[in-house]
Structure 1
């Protein structure tokens, strides 16, 4: 029996997550959205594509949650998209209410599921999901650091003219302007990035990574990124369901790791136990200060969510 993966939100991100999962040909996918006909149409389209692509995944579209029962993982992408000039903080009120309702439905039907949050503001939505689901921290994770690290790796690869496969990078902190790329732990073919690029170019690439989402929003005009976010979410699903033991940066509730008790992006070992452990890197004083600043910014968002949901 194939694991069932539920994807909530059939927009660009959710639809592409469903496509990537179907094309793995080892999951059954349920695509849920409130817009009548949209998840059903996309599900039918994806199954017809399977006849060409070579997969026979069952993809079900639904406007309610009855088909989601028994899901191994739920990927939650639902919410309003960020518009040009809109900060992540401005998304908070509307998306917190949407995520609260979604999580209640998922938990009622799939009490053993793992939750992978994609909705922005990402770290605050992990907080909402934890609070509403009452799941332990290892079963509620946010997709952020994988995306941020991928952007950083790609920008470095374009700068150097090498494959991103040769680049290893970790980005910590909240998903937004306060993210913390660990330059000391960034390597190209095993050599430190500082041996490849001067300080000013590295700073420019870090800045572009921090603004990576906004850059795409400003170019698209009417939407936000979805190819890279969907790929990042699927990497998390695969690591959990297939017990890959990948060490990936994810948003998770720290319980003393890095001296924090906040939800923030840190390296996590992902396997069949979800967030099986948090991996602690040796941080410089500056890196630790930047991570604390990022965690403080996330904490302020979470406090605001609590006020809204009181």
Structure 2
């Protein structure tokens, strides 16, 4: 009987410890709201929603709570307009900011969003100094860099979701062209989450076979162009990208919560990896309970190396604008 009692005590302790974890989303626009829905559907952990618009996070929390109840998912969801509710957060997802419009350049978007991300990052430092930060706001690589520099956190605790979505788009087009299941495809896209993204023909494979052995150069060129344009295509059709980025973000969060040690493509601050320094760009990394646990340095061919370095340089060129007071 004593043994059974001890087992019950252990189970209760484990449940309480898991329940102490807290995910917070800052910014409840279309992207933030979709990420919240994915987190609830996966039953990942308790959730706090923060936005400056009165009633928006509270309404989302109530609506999501009703959904969770219908699906018998036990999760606590809180909506707030107060940054003090960041306290106790283990993971903070930053999706605050303006979405990109079809006629907006990356520099235009940078000017609109950098003040927002700086303010949010300062609040994270103040109220959740032990948290891990996931940036979703565009321009992704630059906003990730700004969040890292503003918080002063160890680089392992701050990363962005970008290349993961680019790879998902590449998989989608590969599946359509080759008439194969998504699950049979491994896609790798690194570098900027933007026009200079680098699609790795040598590493992207179908059932272990590199795509450059399955497609001719014209097909691969078309595939690359479709992948690069797909975000803009969605924006022109419906105003914003939402579902893909939410799925990518929740998948990464699940790897953190469950300590999956899974490889994801994230925008990360490089300090010598791939020969690059002081820039955030998309790279493959092992994600677990400690956030970014290790960057994986893939073997790139000469063309891929050159394209990747140019992509990183394209991001670095905007850092002076990012860090200026203008």
Distance 2:135 2:240 in 1: 16
Structure 2 match to 1:99: 117
Secondary structure at the counterpart of residue 224 of structure 1? coil
Which of 224, 242, 252 is residue 268 of structure 2 equivalent to? 252
Structure 1 match to 2:223: 205
Deviates more, 1:20-29 or 1:249-258: 20-29
Offset of residue 61 of structure 1: 0.8
TM-score, reference length from structure 1: 0.96
Q: Which has the larger radius of gyration?
A: 2
Structure 1 match to 2:103: 85
Distance 1:87 1:165 in 2: 34
Secondary structure at the counterpart of residue 116 of structure 1? strand
Deviates more, 1:153-162 or 1:115-124: 153-162
- Measured on the aligned residues, the alpha-carbon RMSD in Å equals 1.1
Structure 2 match to 1:166: 184
Secondary structure at the counterpart of residue 325 of structure 2? helix
Structure 2's unaligned 5+ residue stretches are 1-15
Alignment of 1:29-48 (within 5 A): 29-48=47-66
Distance 1:298 1:84 in 2: 20
Distance 2:53 2:37 in 1: 18
Q: How many residues align?
A: 307
Is 1:294 aligned to 2:304, yes or no? Answer: no
Contact in 2 for aligned 1:80/1:94 (Cα 8 Å): yes
Deviates more, 1:252-261 or 1:57-66: 57-66
Distance 1:231 1:106 in 2: 24
Distance 1:102 1:238 in 2: 23
Structure 1 moving runs of 4+ over 6 Å: none
Distance 2:319 2:46 in 1: 34
Q: Deviations over 1:160-190 (max 9, x none)?
A: 2211111001100010000001011111112
Which of 213, 224, 249 is residue 233 of structure 1 equivalent to? 249
Offset of residue 285 of structure 1: 1.3
Alignment of 1:1-310 (within 5 A): 1=16, 2=19, 3-220=21-238, 223-261=239-277, 262-308=279-325
Offset of residue 87 of structure 1: 2.1
Distance 2:266 2:320 in 1: 20
Offset of residue 67 of structure 1: 2.2
Offset of residue 277 of structure 1: 1.0
Distance 1:34 1:96 in 2: 17
